[in-house]
Each structure stands twice: as structure tokens, then as C-alpha cells.
Amino acid sequence: MTMPDIHFVASDAADAQSALAEMRTYYSDKGADAAKIIVALGGDGFMLQTLHKFLGSKKPIYGMNLGSVGFLMNEYRQEGLAERLAAAETAVVHPLRMKATNISGQIKEALAFNEVSLLRETRQAAKLRISVDERTRIEELICDGILISTPAGSTAYNLSAHGPILPIDAALLALTPISAFRPRRWHGALLPHRAHTRFEVLEPNKRPVSAVADDLEVRGVISVDVAEDRSVSMTMMFDAGHSLDERILAEQFID
């Protein structure tokens, strides 16, 4: 079977770097510009980095797990890569766009394929006001933080914070509090993917909050606006029978 033009990238971890050297002895690396498919060697965090690195390239990403969890990755094997790529199933993912304003009035924008999270910076709980589509939904949430997750990211930090798992093609976002103190009984919400969510930090000097979009952090924020950006998309590739849809479904039946 003919191998498509591929380019390997790997995390800095020793195992990933060793695998990179091994794969390049088996297969030709056409380079980033000429490649039709990017093969990423590492863990889920490295997959997110790779999605950001090749944003706008329209090149699909096929990950091979050399990390801890590897939910977004395929099993690492040297042999049979051409056959695996030919049979692979695809998933198109759209990121969240975060616009964060800090206490100095600076505005920073970033994309997040997993989630945007707001987290307290000190020992004191954060106080947040939450609005959805310009309507205040919670006047004051006292918590360690809150996150808004894509379907692709719903099995990551969102799941650890007891948020819902979303099918990959669900037109929904998960809004999940992190250790909410008041209101105690609020466990989050499901939002339509087109929703615009605004978080306002009520006491930014006394109770500073940071905002994180995937791996980019903005500290000392006073407001954060989040909405899905459907104009941006990336394609991920998964081994036949192990699609992202199937992984998300299977995750809901794990004891």
C-alpha cells in the first residue's frame, strides 16, 4: 500500500524522541510543507500543541500515544502505518475563542480545542458573574473556578470536575463549576454551541483570577468572553473502530 506524504512531530519527552528516530528509519518524512498528513508522537497535551501549530494548514493530524492517557491519540506501533492511515476515521473539531481582559485593560485572545477555564490565583475563592447571550444567569458564583468545554475536551478537565461527557457531533458546550461553594446546588449547564458566555470577576484585586485557553494563561483577568469559532476547524484521524465518537461513548460506561 502506498504511503501518503507524512511529517512526524514529537514531544520533548525521551520516549517520544526515541520513537521519532525509529519512525524516521521506517518511513520517509516529507517535511511539514509537503506533507499531506501530520503524525504526532506524544500525549494528549502534545496533540493540543500540534493542533495549534498546524492551525489553518488544513492538514489532518494522526496521533500516536507516548504519553499518560492518550485519549486523543492512537496506539503507538511502528508497523502498518500506511494501512492504518488509509482506514482511519476522521473527526472535525472547532475551537473556542477566548477574549480575556486583564486588570490593566490589556486584551488577549486565544483558541482552545479542549476548554477555557477560570481559576482562582490565591487561597481565597473566586467570585464570578456569569452571563449567557447578554443575560445574567448567575449573579455571584463563589468557587475555585469554572470551565467551558468543547465536546472534544469534555472527557478531559471537564470530566474531572464532574462535568458531562458530550458526543463529538453534539452542538453543545459544557459549562462546569470547579468546587462551587455558592450556589451549592448548581452543577453546571449545557449551552448551545452558538452561545456567547461572559465571565466577570467581581473582586479582581482581592480575589485574583487567571484564565486559561488550552495551554495559554492570562493572569489577573477582570472579564473573559468565550464563544465557539466555527470558522476554524481541524481534522483528527483515528484508527478504524476507535473513532473519537466511539471513545467518548465508551468513556461513559467505564466503572
Active-site amino acid positions: 44
Q: Could you give the CA distance from residue 169 to residue 146 in angstroms, rounded to a whole number?
A: 23
Neighbours of 245 (CB within 10 A): 15
Nearest to 111 by CA among 156, 56, 60, 67: 56
Nearest to 110 by CA among 98, 100, 94, 118: 98
Instruction: Name, in order, each residue with C-beta under 8 angstroms of 236's C-beta and a sequence gap of 6 or more.
Output: 47, 51, 60, 61, 62, 63, 72, 90, 91, 92, 93, 244
Which cell goes with 164? 458531562
